Amino acid sequence: MNDIRIEKQIGEDRLKALGVRQWPIWSKEPSEFPWTYDETETCYLLEGRVIVTPKGGESVEFGKGDLVIFRAGLKCTWKILETVRKHYNFS
C-alpha cells in the first residue's frame, strides 16, 4: 500500500458503508506542522485544502470531498492551505 491513498470526491454510498458520519471531527486553521502516524488513519474532508509531503517523498494535495488513508509509520509535513474540517478514524 502507498503511504497515502486518496479517493477523490467519493459518493454518499461509500461514506455510509464506512460509517464516516459517526467518526469524530477534527478542525485546524491554515498552518504547517510535522506529523507521524502511529496508526493508520482514514479521514474524509468536509472542508479545506491540504498539501501533505511524506519524508523523502512527493507532495500530494487533497480537499473537500476526498477520502484519504495514511499508512501507519508515515512521517510527513502537513501544510493546511484552507481551514480543514474532517471526519477521522484510526485503525
pLDDT digits (tens, 9 = 90+) for 54-88: 999 999 999 999 999 999 999 999 999 999 999 99
What does pTM read for this prediction? 0.93
Answer yes or no: is pLDDT of 48 > 70: yes
2-44 residue pLDDT tens: 799 999 989 999 999 999 999 999 999 999 999 999 999 999 9
What residues pair up with 26 in beta bridges, in sequence order? Answer: 86
5-14 residue pLDDT tens: 999 989 999 9
Architecture of the domain made up of 4-90: Sandwich (2.60)
Domain boundaries, the chain: 4-90
